[in-house]
Structures are given as C-alpha cells and as structure tokens.
Amino acid sequence: MLIDETSNELIIAAARGLSNDIMDRTRLKIGEGIAGLVARNGKHVFVEDIEKDPRFFKAENLRYPAKSFISVPLKVRNKVIGVLNVNKEKEGEKFNERDLRLLQLLAGQAAITVENIELYQNLQRLYLETMQTLAKAIDAKDAYTKEHADRSGFYAKLVAEELHLPKSMIKHIEYAAMMHDIGKIGIKEEILLKPSKLTKEEVDEIKKHPLIGEKIIAPIEFLAPIAPLILYHHEWFDGSGYAEGLVGEEIPIGARIVAVIDAYDAMTSDRPYRKALPKESAIKELKKGSGSQFDPKIVDAFLRVLEQHKEIEAGSV
C-alpha cells in the first residue's frame, strides 16, 4: 500500500490474492487499521491472530486462510511512503523473527524502487512541461496561431480514440500534436510572421522545422517515440510531401493524424496574409485533399469527431 498524498490515505498499489474490485475500493486513513497505524507510527506490527485483533481492517467477504500477519513501513529517508502487508498462505503457519527481518529488508528495497519510479515520473513531467512551454512560446510569437498547440493536442487525442488506437499510442499522438511545430523555434521570426508571400528560399527555410523539431525531441528518452511523428507531419499521403516523400502507410499514423488537424486548424485560424476560412470551407478542403494530401480514413475520423463536438467548434471558430 502507498500513501496518496492528495487524500492522505493508503491505497493498494499492488497485491496478490485480492480482486481488482477490492484493490480499487480499499482506502485506509492514516491511523486506521493496522496498516494505517504502521503508516502513522513508522513501526512494524506483528499480529499472531488477525481474526482476534480489533485493529485489523478486513476487506468485505474476504477469508484469510492463515491468521499470522506482518505490516512493515516503507520508508525513504525516514519518511513513510507506504506499508508492506503480508499474511501466511497456509492455515496454521505463523511468522517468526527471521521472517520479520527479511520483510524489513524487502520493504527497504521496495521503498527505494518506488522513490526511483516517482523521481523518473517527475523528470518525465518536467521534460513534458518544458516542451509544452516551448511549443506555446512558439504560438505566442505569432498572435495568429495562439492556442494552436492546445487545440491540436485536444483533437489529436479524440481522433486517435475514434480510431481505437492503443492507449500508449494515443498519448504519444496527443503529445506530438501539441509539439509538432516546436522546430519553428529555429526559424527566423521575420519569416514566420511575414505578411506577404514567402520567397522560394523562405519556403525552403520553413520546411526545415520538422527536422529541427525531431532533433530537439529525439534525445529525450520518453519523448523519443513522438520524434518521427513530428518529422513526418508534412508528408503527403500520395508521396509529394516533405521531408522524405513517404507514401501512404509508410507515414506513421500519428503523423497522418497531425497532418489533418494541423491543416484544419491553419485554415480556420487568422493568418498574417489572410482571414480564417469558415469551418465549412475548411472541411471542403480536407475532403478535396483526401487521398492525395491526407489519409482518407483519418479525414473521415476527424470529421466524425467534429460532428460529435459541434458545441466546441461553435465556440472556437
């Protein structure tokens, strides 16, 4: 069991022999039951007969074959982060002092492992927030694309869900959509904000932003899976896009999703050189590009998402 710091309760993080329902429902206040006492006091409790001990919190309709029970605190630098609860499997068996010492050693190792996982998750969160801040900083440079990153991530997640993609892939696609233009941080501002038509040289410069973005993201281990989605989000379904001229399903599905959402959001946003297109006109353009610029199944999924979220569209376009 680990301490949920938001509610100051013990929750079951992992267990053997308990149903998922019991694991999800069981929450102990600090000081409640034997595990709660151990979490509060930071000292182990050794119980010979849990059926007779009034402190023991027994899950509903659960029968324990053995009555011997040990609860040991999980500590990191003298701070209790949870408890390790163990009871004997065979009826009549009892724990002894040797078992207790072994469990204390295991609890020490488990606490270090939990802390390392939390540190890694915090590091991931820090990296992600930094990258998102960079993406929003790029949006902020251009008043015409304000909140583009947030909208892109929102719709990318919905489209990926509409296509019933795996959860881990959905998260990567959402992150890629939010950060797909991060490479524009390496493009001169006068080119990004130019109100008139770009020269061929300036267009070539703009086309470097997916590669720059990929180079920014790829070295970050947990974001590495989204690097190809950023690199290939300007590929065309018929192979006439950039950066590598990939065709059809050679283009990662996440990049194909970002391509559709990016195009739609660009069309329905004011730009330095033109006003936003009406939603209906943007949809017409997506349909026109289906099969050439865009993957038809992605276009269809995106249009279904738009239909399902009309009220959001009405407030944002």
Residues 266-313 have pLDDT tens digits of 899 877 667 889 999 999 999 999 999 999 999 999 999 999 887 655
Residue 133 falls inside a structural domain: no
Check whether residue 179 and residue 299 sit in a common domain.
Answer: yes
Compute the mean pLDDT over every residue in the chain, rounded to the nearest whole number: 83
Here the tokens at position 309 are 């979220």
- Do 33 and 169 sit in the same domain of this protein? no
In this structure, are 62 and 155 located in the same domain? no
Across residues 241-254, what is the average pLDDT?
Answer: 95
Share of the chain above pLDDT 90, in %: 36
71 CB-side CA count, 13 A: 24
81 pLDDT more than 90: no
- Of 4-8, 41-45, 74-78, 86-90, which range is least confident? 86-90
Determine the distance from the C-alpha atom of residue 260 to the mean position of all C-alpha atoms in its chain, rounded to a whole number.
Answer: 21
Query: Are 290 and 164 members of one domain?
Result: yes
pLDDT of residue 196: 84
Instruction: Provide the residue range defining the domain that includes 287.
Output: 142-316
151-189 as b/e: b if 16+ CB within 10 A:
bbbbbbbbbbebbebeeeebebbbbbbbbbbbbbbebee
Structural domains in the chain (count)? 2
Q: Is pLDDT at 61 greater than 60 in this prediction?
A: no
Q: Which is more confident, 37 or 132?
A: 37
Q: For 144-148, 178-182, 280-284, which range has the lowest pLDDT when averaged over its residues?
A: 144-148
In a domain, residue 46? The reply is: yes
Q: What's the CATH code of the domain at 109?
A: 3.30.450.40
pLDDT confidence tier of residue 317, bands split at 50, 70 and 90: very low
Kindly report the CATH number assigned to the domain that includes residue 311. 1.10.3210.10
100 in the same domain as 26: yes
Q: Is the pTM of this model over 0.95?
A: no
Residues 288 and 171 in one domain: yes
Q: Which two tokens stand for residue 306?
A: 């738009």
Residue 163 has pLDDT above 80, yes or no: yes
Asked if residue 68 is part of any domain, the answer here is yes
Q: Which pLDDT score is estimated for 109?
A: 78
Residue 87 — very low, low, confident or very high, per pLDDT cuts 50/70/90?
confident
Amino acid at 102: L
In a domain, 223, yes or no: yes
- Highest mean pLDDT among 98-107, 144-153, 223-232 belongs to 223-232
62, 88, 119 - which closes a domain:
119
Same domain, 42 and 86: yes
Is pLDDT of 62 > 60?
Answer: no
Find tokens 């040990």 and name the residue.
Answer: 70
Please give the average per-residue pLDDT across 5-33, as a whole number: 82
Query: Is 227 contained in some domain?
Result: yes
Instruction: Pick the most confident of 53-57, 132-136, 156-160, 221-225.
Output: 156-160
pLDDT above 70 for 57: no
- Sequence-distant (≥ 6) Cβ neighbours of residue 33 within 8 angstroms: 55, 56, 57
Statement to judge: residues 90 and 155 lie in one domain: no
9 and 73 in a single domain? The answer is: yes
- Mean pLDDT confidence for 204-232: 91
Query: What average pLDDT does the segment 92-103 reach?
Result: 74
Residue 136 lies in a domain: no
Asked whether residue 131 is assigned to any structural domain, the reply reads: no
83 and 149 inside one domain:
no
- Place 91 in a pLDDT band, splitting at 50, 70 and 90: low
- Residue 180 sits in the same domain as residue 311: yes
Residue 165 is predicted with a pLDDT of 95
- Answer with the residue of higher pLDDT: 20 or 317: 20
Asked, for residue 135, whether it belongs to a domain, the answer is: no
Both 59 and 194 in one domain: the answer is: no
